[in-house]
Amino acid sequence: MILVTGGTGLIGSHLLYRLLANGYKVKALCRKGSSKKDVKDLFDFYEASPLFFKIEWVEGDVQDYYSILNALHHVTHVYHCAAMVSFRPSDRKMMYSVNVEGTANVVDACIEKKITKLCHVSSIATLGKSHNGSLIDEECYWQSDDNHSFYSQTKYKAEMEVWRGIKEGLKAVIVNPSVVIGPGNPNKSSGELLQKVSKGMRFYTSGSTGFVPVKDVVCSMICLMNSAVENERFILNGENVTYQHFLTLASKAFKVAPPSLLAPRWLLNVVWRIEYLKYIIFRSLPRLTKEAARTSMNHSKYSSLKVKKVLLKDFTSLHESLLESVIFLTSKH
Ligand SMILES: NC(=O)c1ccc[n+]([C@@H]2O[C@H](COP(=O)([O-])OP(=O)(O)OC[C@H]3O[C@@H](n4cnc5c(N)ncnc54)[C@H](OP(=O)(O)O)[C@@H]3O)[C@@H](O)[C@H]2O)c1
């Protein structure tokens, strides 16, 4: 039996679908009151509604150690996808608790219950910079002076909890996906960005990063869990592209005009400051934060050579994955 945490999220819901389609028995940890609608919508989209009803939902929270222990009853393999992603200063305490302490709880519970293998979903945010312009790979280590967002810091510390567990005898694989693209909730993860694109965007930013289809993320996770590989981390990245290229591809998929104006650095710096002031005064959700502005101007390229040596296959193209996301968003929302 497999346990998935974060099963109602983008990666978790696709993982649940793929595991069940492959015939596995699956439990999913779910917080009290969490909606399962996104998961049902996804299964319906893949015309696999009967599989949705095979998920055994177990109520629990990664912040509650005993709820994880309870969920691990009869479980041999764990996929830990639960996390909180936020750039709001007011979410920091909760994000630390969910991402760092929550992962420590999952690791400790896996050790206590003698789980066969854990797959932890980390992020490219935990990697360091590359030297001499080469692609960032698994050997690029985090530097504490690199101006990281608070989210990145929590993901780094969460990954460290898994490495600590490995030292204590846990068998685990860690995946570090880049920006994950695929059918999902338009108000969460990359769905939020695609939703904005669907309404037409005027500006693009100067940076570049890696993007990876969610299908490839979950297939890689399952393949790594089924392999003899253990105690290693793997970057999951499909293509390195500029934000301008990504936004143009996505706009074309939505059949809207692509953004044509480069947002200069000074404009981004003005916008995030105004948004911050509005947040302080009115507590309104910032549309741009300092961290997001900085990230949108970074140039980072990632290597996925290591995982491809295990998978022995290439990833789906960004274009194909965007088309599928757009069909999902336009059909459901
Ligand atoms: N999406 C990306 O582009 C991307 C890229 C790199 C790495 N990652 C990593 O991939 C993982 C999954 O990301 P995602 O995009 O799928 O996230 P997501 O769509 O925001 O989903 C987050 C999931 O975590 C669950 N969760 C939050 N707090 C929890 C708690 N206290 N206890 C139990 N479950 C909790 C949520 O459940 P509720 O339904 O109850 O809220 C939801 O199922 C995260 O670790 C993220 O850091 C994501």
Q: What is the CATH number of the domain that holds 153?
A: 3.40.50.720
- Token readout for 132 is 């001499």
- Report pLDDT digits (tens) over 142-175: 988 767 889 999 999 999 999 999 999 999 999 9
Is residue 200 assigned to a domain? Answer: no
Q: Can you give the residue range of the structural domain that contains 148?
A: 2-183+211-238+301-317
- Nearest atom within ligand 1 for CA of residue 61: 32
Give domain status of residue 127, yes or no.
yes
Residue 35 lies in a domain: yes
d(CA 261, ligand 1 centre) in Å: 32
Each residue's pLDDT tens digit, 209-255:
999 999 999 999 999 999 999 999 999 999 999 999 999 999 999 99
Q: Is residue 110 part of a domain?
A: yes
Name which residue sits closest to atom 46 of ligand 1, judged by CA: 83
Q: How many domains does the chain have?
A: 1
Q: Is 292 in the pocket of ligand 1 (CB under 6 A)?
A: no
- Asked if the structure places residue 246 within a domain, the reply is no
Q: How far apart are CA 158 and CA 120, in angstroms?
A: 9
Residue of 67, 78, 81, 195 with the most ligand 1 atoms within 8 Å of its CB, for mutation: 81
In the predicted structure, residue 52 carries a pLDDT above the cut 70: yes
| Ligand 1 pocket check for 98: Cβ under 6 Å | yes
Question: 194: exposed, middle or buried (C-beta count within 10 Å: 0-12, 13-18, 19+)?
Answer: buried
What's the rounded mean pLDDT across residues 43-51?
96
Residue 83 CA to ligand 1 center (angstroms) comes to: 4
User: Residue 125 CA: which ligand 1 atom is closest?
Assistant: 6
How far is ligand 1, taken at its centre, from the CA of residue 266, in Å? 32
Domain membership flag for residue 24: yes
pLDDT at residue 332 above 70? no
What ligand 1 atom has the least distance to the C-alpha of 82?
24
Whether ligand 1 lies within 6 angstroms of the CB of 84 is answered as: yes
Average pLDDT, the chain: 92
Output the pTM of the full model.
0.94
Residue 112 inside a domain? The answer is: yes
36 CB within 6 A, ligand 1: no
> Does 329 fall in a domain?
no
Check whether 272 has a pLDDT greater than 90.
no
CA-to-CA distance for 45 and 47, rounded, in angstroms?
5
